[in-house]
Amino acid sequence: MGLVDVSRLPQHVAIIMDGNGRWAQRRDKPRTAGHERGADAVRATMRAARRLGIPALTLYAFSEQNWDRPQAEINALVDLLCECLVSERNELVDNEIRLSAIGRLHKLPERAQSKLASLTSETQSFEGMTLTLALSYGGREELIDATRELARRARDGEIDPAQIDEAAMDALMPSMNVGPVDLLVRTGGEQRISNFILWGSAYAELYFTDELWPDFGANSLYSAIAAYQSRERRFGLVPDAEPLPANESADELERAI
Ligand code: FPP
């Protein structure tokens, strides 16, 4: 934890939790054993983030594309989610963690929807940290849903298409409820975003680690944050505190970006 400067924390950390299957395979266990250990890593990461004081943590727990996995694995993941929504209730309440969920939640089985609704409602007023579970989520799907809504409003004369701007998009993207992603972490060795938060990750710092998700924990999170803090975030601007000579040309300015 000594690596982390708590005065410069990322305000929104989003994680693609990858590698559960490989973790299990390497131990000759069924993939579901990897997901179970993955749930332990979720708990450890959530605790560490809360202790540090990170305001928002978003976890990619089930992608829109995961519906194409074998039905037995889908059932096991839904069962695990339902168990966690019961077993972690006290952890969330005691630590004032607000639970939220994004994605096409209506596609989840009723038993998962009702447990999710009950815990999100019970923890709604907490301000310690917002834990968002991305479930049946896809970044493209989120953009499609927002676009459909804007098109509907334009058709019905509620908005002028010329007035659609970033703020209008932000307001229609549930993943933006906790602000843009500052740090996007992916475990499991792959270096891609795989349809996770697209709009809100526009300026996120990306951090990829070979560690498999079940092995991830507090120290892994600290390392990711330390890497984030070692980077210079410019948001398309020139570096700080470097006054340009009066005759700096546009070309030179471009090269500095
Ligand atoms: C990716 O590993 C992980 C998932 C598809 C599911 C994530 C689920 C958990 C971490 C379990 C519990 C979470 C909650 C919120 C209760 P993979 O199966 O794609 O791994 P592989 O790439 O090694 O096959």
Q: State the closest ligand 1 atom to the C-alpha of 212, by its place in the atom list counted from 1.
A: 23
Confidence (pLDDT) at 187: 98
Q: Which of 66, 95, 177, 195 is catalytic?
A: 66
Amino acid at 154: A
The pTM is what? 0.92
Per-residue pLDDT in tens (0 to 9) along the chain, 257 residues: 568 999 999 999 999 999 999 999 999 999 999 999 999 999 999 999 999 999 999 999 999 999 999 999 999 999 999 999 999 999 999 999 999 999 999 999 999 999 999 999 999 999 999 999 999 999 999 999 999 999 999 999 999 999 999 999 999 999 999 999 999 999 999 999 999 999 999 999 999 999 999 999 999 999 999 999 999 888 888 876 554 444 444 444 344 43
| Distance from the alpha carbon of residue 7 to the mean position of ligand 1, in angstroms | 31
Tokens 């005759």 correspond to 247
- Alpha carbon separation from 65 to 52, 84, 136, 183, 233 (Å, rounded): 32, 22, 8, 23, 32
| Distance from the alpha carbon of residue 212 to the mean position of ligand 1, in angstroms | 10
Confidence (pLDDT) at 233: 80
Tokens 């339902």 correspond to 82
Give the Cα separation of 132 and 175 in Å (integer): 8
17 lines ligand 1 (CB under 6 A): yes
Q: State the closest ligand 1 atom to the C-alpha of 213, by its place in the atom list counted from 1.
A: 10
38 lines ligand 1 (CB under 6 A): yes
Q: Is 18 a catalytic residue?
A: yes
Q: Is 66 a catalytic residue?
A: yes
Please name the CATH architecture into which domain 6-256 falls: 3-Layer(aba) Sandwich (3.40)
Count of CA atoms in the C-beta half-sphere (13 A) of 119: 28
| Distance from the alpha carbon of residue 248 to the mean position of ligand 1, in angstroms | 51
84 lines ligand 1 (CB under 6 A): yes
134 lines ligand 1 (CB under 6 A): no
56-63: strand order across its sheet = 97-102, 129-137, 56-63, 12-16, 183-186, 205-208
